[in-house]
């Protein structure tokens, strides 16, 4: 099985969100399963020089965008067992940040077209071209378009993964001229989206197969609330849609070996977890108490992460005997909200309005509960890390949160966390109060849940096996 894996970001080279974690972990696991997988991403200026110095230029060619004849340098790096190709063009990628520029449409049409032409240039004929999110969605359109005049593409199949349907790549239809696509693509059953064109819509329509990053999210996006204006397209192409939940890298996320936390522990030495709580309390100027239940939240602070639900109940929640630690940045209103409550309840609340990866690991290790009341969450990675570290997630049953967190069953003792179903602040409050009550009144049940959570197998290997099955079906 030969796979060309296309992404706009990948750990450790460049990261702005969860896509980078997936692109950094999944190819390694697929390689371990015997897949000949090559990863392609842009040669951003911000990639660390230590990686650039290890790269070797293997070829160059030109990509036509309307009247432009654009240079394309290809650099290869074999890293961590996986072969990476970096597409070099300083006009498009010598920027201080990967996205957010006025010419993003042109930049990623160029990247997608270069990716589609790349296999011929490096003499690597893939069975599957696997694209991710709107940045590479147009590859699926180009492969189909190229089939008309080039038999090389006839037996290449395409898989398109939607990591978050909210970000679709909607642009002025004039960019079709840059793509070299004729006007026939500008219709309601193709790229046209109102008076614009939609890269993600094109990816869904033209790919051989489509998947999302959890089974539940694949179901949710059939409906208008989660469909982000594309639910009709999702329903129309439902026959080629599936969901595979993300995993985490168990070598990276391991409380037994994590060098960023104060005290290492595993399921056999779980008592050391409380030492991390004392250390974090000292760091954040909270009263040092082992017995107080600590709730952690590491997140972007925005509406879709459920911050309004937290806002409505925070006064009532902080009247309980708890500690609440928050780390993250986001919309001004939520940043100020957490600062205010940290001022009002200095012995119960610590708000750190910035992001620091070392402190985030400390919160996973120190907290007893981990809060994720998301309105929408395609998969989520934080709840997986929290369970790995024995911090019980309290989540809304949305997207991948529903697929990965098993709610506590008081009759059987089963579960890996707590959940609530509706977008309702007091359902969230009752879920938290229930968790606190069990922590205080039934410590044996709480410890069993912690063990359940730490024992659950969420490694990328399981997800990689499902992707390999999907590749086989797509190829057939």
pLDDT at 251 > cutoff 90: no
147 class by beta-carbon count within 10 Å (0-12 exposed, 13-18 middle, 19+ buried): middle
Band (pLDDT 50/70/90 cuts) for residue 408 is very high
417: DSSP letter: B
Which band of pLDDT confidence, cut at 50, 70 and 90, is reported for residue 237? very high
Closest CA to 410 of 384, 446, 454, 368: 446
Q: What is the CA radius of gyration of the chain?
A: 23
Give the per-residue pLDDT at 250.
Answer: 87
Is pLDDT at 449 greater than 90 in this prediction?
A: yes
- Span 267-457: which CATH code? 3.40.50.2000
Is 149 a residue whose pLDDT tops 90? no
Average pLDDT on 354-364 reads 95
Burial of 225 (0-12, 13-18, 19+ CB in 10 A): exposed
pLDDT of 202 reads: 97
DSSP code, position 272: G
Condensed to tens digits (0 to 9), the pLDDT of residues 300-327 reads: 999 999 999 999 999 999 999 999 999 9
What's the chain's average pLDDT?
Answer: 96
Average confidence (pLDDT) over 23-51:
96
Strands 36-42 and 82-88: parallel
Token couple for 233? 């397209």
Q: Tell the residue number behind the tokens 């890390």, with chain if given.
A: 385
For the cut 90, the answer to whether the pLDDT of residue 145 exceeds it is yes
Angle, vertex CA 11, rays to CA 7 and CA 16, nearest 5: 75
pLDDT reported for residue 252: 87
Distance (Å, whole) CA 133 – CA 444: 44
Torsion of CA 106, 112, 115, 121, to 10 degrees: -50
Residues 6+ apart with CB under 8 A from 53: none
- Residue whose pair of structure tokens reads 């950094």 in the numeric block: 24
Q: Is the pLDDT of residue 445 over 90?
A: yes
Question: Does residue 57 have a pLDDT over 90?
Answer: yes
- pLDDT band at residue 476, thresholds of 50, 70 and 90? confident
Handedness of CA 144, 149, 150, 154 (dihedral sign): positive
Q: What is the DSSP string of 29-97?
A: HHHHTT-EEEEEEE--TTS-HHHHTT-EEEEEEEEEETTEEEEEEEEEEEETTEEEEEEE-HHHH-SSS
Which of 48, 41, 49, 46 has the alpha carbon at shortest distance from 74? 41
Poorest-pLDDT segment among 105-114, 247-256, 444-453: 247-256
| Euclidean distance between CA atoms 86 and 272, whole angstroms | 43
Residue 357 has pLDDT above 90, yes or no: no
Q: How far is CA 382 from CA 62, 220, 360, 375, in A?
A: 41, 20, 10, 15
What is the domain partition of the chain in residue ranges? 2-247+461-475, 267-457
**Helix, strand, coil percent content, the chain, rounded in steps of 5:** 45, 20, 35
- pLDDT at residue 412 in the model: 93
Neighbours of 42 (CB within 10 A): 26
Give the Cα separation of 47 and 409 in Å (integer).
47
- What are the two backbone dihedrals, phi and then psi, of residue 51, each rounded to the nearest 5 degrees? -80, -40
Domains 2-247+461-475 and 267-457 share a fold: yes
Going by C-alpha positions, the residue among 471, 452, 467, 469 that lies closest to residue 404 is: 452
Give percent of the chain with pLDDT exceeding 70.
100
The predicted-structure confidence for 275-302, as pLDDT tens digits, reads as follows 999 999 999 999 999 999 999 999 999 9
Can you tell me the mean pLDDT for 60-64? 97
Residue 17 reports pLDDT greater than 90: no
- φ/ψ (deg, to 5) at 390: 75, 20
Q: Please state, as a whole number, how many other Cβ atoms lie within 10 Å of the Cβ of residue 285.
A: 10
pLDDT of residue 95: 93
| Cα–Cα distance for residue pair 385/96, rounded to 1 Å | 30
> Class of the 2-247+461-475 domain?
alpha beta
Are residues 28 and 82 in contact, defined by beta-carbon separation less than 8 angstroms?
A: yes
């Amino acid at each position: 099985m030969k796979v060309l894996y296309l992404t706009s970001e990948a750990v450790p080279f460049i990261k702005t969100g969860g896509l980078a974690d997936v692109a950094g972990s999944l190819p390694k696991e697929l390689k371990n399963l015997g897949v000949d997988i090559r990863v392609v991403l842009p040669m951003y200026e911000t990639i660390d020089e230590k990686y650039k110095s290890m790269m070797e230029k293997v070829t160059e060619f030109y990509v036509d965008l309307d009247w432009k004849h654009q240079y394309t340098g290809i650099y290869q790096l074999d890293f961590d067992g996986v072969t990476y190709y970096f597409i070099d063009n300083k006009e498009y990628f010598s920027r201080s940040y990967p996205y957010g520029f006025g010419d993003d449409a042109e930049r990623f049409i160029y990247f997608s077209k270069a990716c589609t032409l790349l296999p011929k240039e490096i003499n690597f004929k893939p069975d599957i071209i696997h694209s991710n999110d709107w940045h590479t969605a147009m590859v699926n359109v180009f492969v189909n378009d190229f089939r008309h005049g080039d038999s090389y593409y006839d037996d290449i199949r395409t898989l398109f993964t939607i990591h978050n349907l909210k970000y679709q790549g909607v642009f002025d239809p004039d960019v079709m001229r840059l793509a070299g696509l004729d006007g026939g693509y500008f219709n309601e059953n193709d790229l046209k989206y109102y008076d614009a064109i939609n890269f993600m819509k094109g990816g869904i329509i033209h790919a051989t197969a489509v998947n999302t990053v959890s089974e539940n999210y694949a179901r949710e996006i059939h409906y208008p609330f989660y469909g982000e204006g594309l639910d009709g397209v999702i329903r129309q192409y439902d026959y080629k849609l599936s969901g595979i939940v993300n995993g985490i890298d168990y070598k990276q996320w391991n409380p037994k070996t994590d060098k960023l936390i104060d005290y290492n522990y595993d399921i056999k030495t779980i008592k050391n977890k409380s030492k991390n709580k004392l250390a974090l309390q000292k760091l954040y100027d909270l009263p040092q108490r082992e017995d107080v239940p600590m709730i952690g939240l590491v997140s972007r602070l925005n509406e879709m992460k459920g911050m309004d639900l937290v806002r409505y109940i925070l006064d009532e929640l902080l009247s309980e005997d708890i500690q609440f630690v928050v780390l993250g940045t986001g919309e001004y209103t939520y940043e100020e909200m957490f600062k205010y409550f940290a001022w009002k309840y200095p012995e119960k609340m610590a708000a750190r309005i910035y992001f620091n990866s070392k402190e985030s690991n400390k919160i996973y290790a120190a907290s007893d509960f981990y809060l994720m009341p998301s309105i929408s969450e395609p998969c989520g990675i934080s709840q997986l890390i929290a369970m790995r570290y024995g911090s019980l997630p309290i989540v809304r049953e949305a997207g991948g949160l529903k697929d990965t967190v098993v709610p506590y069953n008081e009759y059987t003792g089963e579960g890996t966390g707590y959940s609530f179903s509706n977008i309702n602040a007091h359902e969230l409050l009752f879920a938290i109060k229930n968790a606190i009550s069990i922590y205080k009144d039934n410590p044996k049940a709480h410890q069993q849940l912690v063990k359940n959570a730490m024992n659950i197998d969420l490694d990328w290997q399981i997800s990689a096996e499902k992707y390999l099955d999907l590749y086989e079906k797509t190829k057939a």
